[in-house]
Chains A and B, each alone.
Chain A
Amino acid sequence: EVQLVQSGAEVKKPGESLKISCKGSGYSFTSYWIGWVRQMPGKGLEWMGIIYPGDSDTRYSPSFQGQVTISVDKSITTAYLQWSSLKASDTAIYYCGRATTSFDFWGQGTLVTVSS
């Protein structure tokens, strides 16, 4: 069974750093892209970026380039999304998804709250 399990909810202050994770199982982890999608409170889905665990090839949406870093550790079948300095506007639910040209499996989401 394909599963993507994300790390738990986080509460952070502006300016703090954060790294959230997405662990894949039940399939060949290095053969599929893993993407990250943001959903701000009450809003729609926004594609942030994507990584191919096989060779760590990474692509970013222009809207998120330079704002976040996507990485992977294929030895533990886990992808990461990280921020070096959070802002209040980063408050959102972040989903990871297994991707080809669409996202066929999704993680459960990680709620990130940034508040002073």
Chain B
Amino acid sequence: EIVLTQSPGTLSLSPGERATLSCRASQSVSSSYLAWYQQKPGQAPRLLVYGTSSRATGIPDRFSGSGSGTDFTLTISRLESEDFAVYYCQQYGTSAWTFGQGTKVEIK
């Protein structure tokens, strides 16, 4: 089973700043099979990015994904108030889906 490790655990930033979230896999992941989600308190997760870099429907272009192999990144170019939340990466491989443990982006 592929294990995803996200860092940092918590990111303290101010609105307008750039956020860089990391997701490292224990084995190589196909770029087609890496996704990112946002979850706010009391809400279901929301798909942000799939296939490493494709934004889901309705996701603003301040969210971008990149990476390959075992290292993937979600970047939020300029944080807005509604972006403070928990972010999870997820991979699919050999009929199994796994999630990272999450990165919390909090207001500094």
B-chain residues with CB within 8 Å of residue A62 when the two chains form the complex: 1
Given contacts A44-B88, A47-B97, A50-B97, contact A106 B50 (CB under 8 A): no
One of A46, A59, A61, A95 near B45 (C-beta < 8 A): A95
**Residue in chain B with minimal CB distance to A60:** B96
Give the distance in Å from the alpha carbon of A50 to the alpha carbon of B88 in the complex.
19
- Complex CA distance for A61 and B96, rounded to whole angstroms: 7
CB-defined A-B contacts under 8 Å, sample of 22: A35-B97, A44-B86, A44-B100, A44-B101, A45-B37, A45-B39, A45-B45, A45-B90, A47-B90, A47-B97, A47-B98, A47-B99, A61-B98, A62-B1, A95-B45, A101-B33, A101-B35, A102-B35, A102-B90, A102-B92, A103-B97, A106-B45
Residues of chain A at the chain B interface (Cβ within 8 Å)? 35, 37, 44-47, 50, 59, 61-62, 95, 97, 99, 101-109
- With contacts A101-B32, A102-B47 taken as known, whether A59 is within 8 angstroms of B102 at the C-beta atoms is no
- Least Cβ–Cβ distance between A111 and chain B, in angstroms: 11
Closest 5 CB pairs of A and B: A102-B35, A101-B92, A106-B44, A102-B50, A45-B99
Chain A interface helix/strand/loop/mixed: strand
How many whole Å from B106's CB to the nearest CB in chain A?
Answer: 15
Q: Is B90 a contact of A103 with CB atoms below 8 Å?
A: yes
| Chain B residue contacts of A101, Cβ below 8 A | 32-33, 35, 50-51, 92
Q: Complex formed: what's the CA distance from A50 to B97 in Å?
A: 9
Q: Are the C-beta atoms of B35 and A45 separated by less than 8 Å?
A: no
- CB distance B47 to A104 under 8 Å? yes
